[in-house]
Amino acid sequence: MDVRIGISESNQIIEVDMDDDTDRDGLKKRVADAIGAESMLWVSDKKGKEIGVPGGRIAFVDIGTAETDRRIGFGA
């Protein structure tokens, strides 16, 4: 699952390729908690790399679908 995190007051976007079995609802709760408490949001990618984002700087979070759900082309 790919996750994009926008940073406020910056044009930088952090892209994280997470495991497909990542708990989407759990991730949403962690994002909301980090923003509310202005604490760090920590996420790990497929390779184990950990990324920390200050909750007060999160502008948006885009949670994509699992790799198996992606479609290519114009067909449905």
Task: Summarize pLDDT for 22-64 with one digit per residue, the tens.
Answer: 899 999 999 999 998 889 999 999 999 999 999 999 999 999 8
In Å, what is the CA distance from 34 to each residue of 20, 42, 56, 69?
Answer: 22, 9, 8, 28
Is residue 55 one of the residues assigned to a domain? Answer: yes
Q: For the chain, what is the domain count?
A: 1
At residue 20, the pLDDT reads: 87
The whole-model pTM stands at 0.77
Q: Which domain holds residue 20?
A: 2-67
Q: Which helix (H) or strand (E) holds 31?
A: helix 24-37
Is residue 74 one of the residues assigned to a domain? Answer: no
